[in-house]
Amino acid sequence: MASSFAPLLALPVVARVGTVAVTFVVAGFVKGVTGMGLPTVAMGVLGTLMLPAQAAALLLLPSFVTNVWQLFAGASVRTLAQRLWPMMAGIVVGTLVAAPFIAGGGGAWAVAGLGAALMLYAAAGLLAWRFPVPARHERWLSPVIGVATGVLTGGTGVFVVPAVPYLQGLDLKKEDLVQALGLSFTVSTLALAIGLAGAHAFALDDLGNSLAAVLPALVGMWLGQRVRGRIGAASFRRWFFVCLLGLGVQLTARAFV
């Protein structure tokens, strides 16, 4: 199974480095335009070239750096952390419990799970799903959503569902929503790193490869922010979700071939 999902290893070193760099430039560009999507795009593309655990280890530092940048872009960090800490705690618990799955115990199911997570997120985006969250339910729903997001994070390396639709359903201002997403993604990245390390799928030696992906991601993010006002956001998001849907279908199909 490992060999059928590691064609990147068969490429020359220069081609491997170039493929990874281009992937993170594209992923960073998407994040620069939409405010999200870097780990999702990176996992979707790299998941067709290597095992999900390898792809997840590679994206840890680029995801962490870009999400911290997004998190501290405003002044509401403390307020959001006080409000959303039950969700963040749930993310940590769910991720740590599920991390051994993506680290090797899941086999083809981990790849299929990654594909299913991408398809679910793409469907939510294309259908513009919105789930208004009444304030009276937030106290118990936040940790539930957190645990569910953590399980998907630990099992697939994708940490956008159901966190993104849930946060979009809260009564948050636009700037606060961007920061809340940054908080959720940052916590998910840290929890995934701890989970992969605990499952012996990530070590300090892997930091070099992940660090090398930071610069391409930042370049892509900068480019995305530069062109954000020049392209139709709605059209870009639509094609972004269409591409994610295609990647999800491909991964799910290839998992059992």
Looking at per-residue pLDDT, the higher value among 234 and 242 belongs to 242
**What is the pLDDT averaged over residues 15-44?**
86
Which amino acid would we find at residue 252?
Answer: T
As a whole-number percent, the residues of the chain with pLDDT over 70 amount to 90
Q: So what's the pLDDT on residue 2? A: 40
Give pTM, 2 decimals.
0.84
Domain that includes residue 58, residue range: 3-254
User: Per mean pLDDT, which range of 9-13, 102-106, 210-214 is the poorest?
Assistant: 9-13
**C-alpha distances in Å from residue 13, one per residue of 2, 17, 55:** 19, 6, 17
Which amino acid would we find at residue 55?
Answer: A
**What is the pLDDT averaged over residues 52-62?**
89
- Select from 158, 181, 152 the least CA-distant residue to 168: 181
- Select from 111, 126, 114 the least CA-distant residue to 242: 126
pLDDT at 107 over 50: yes
Looking at per-residue pLDDT, the higher value among 191 and 69 belongs to 191
Q: So what's the pLDDT on residue 15? A: 67
Q: So what's the pLDDT on residue 95? A: 97
Burial group, residue 77, by CB count within 10 angstroms (0-12, 13-18, 19+): middle
pLDDT band at 3 (very low <50, low <70, confident <90, very high): very low
* Dihedral angle computed from the Cα positions of residues 197, 202, 207 and 212, in that order, rounded to the nearest 10 degrees: -140
**To 5 degrees, how large is the angle CA 2–CA 5–CA 8?**
110
**C-alpha distances in Å from residue 251, one per residue of 112, 194, 234:** 6, 25, 26
**What is the pLDDT averaged over residues 17-32?**
90
Give the chain's domain count. 1
Q: Tell me if 179 sits within 8 A of 80, measured CB to CB.
A: yes
pLDDT at 113 over 50: yes
What is the Cβ-side half-sphere exposure of residue 39, based on CA atoms within 13 angstroms? 35
**What is the pLDDT averaged over residues 124-139?**
85
DSSP state of 47: T
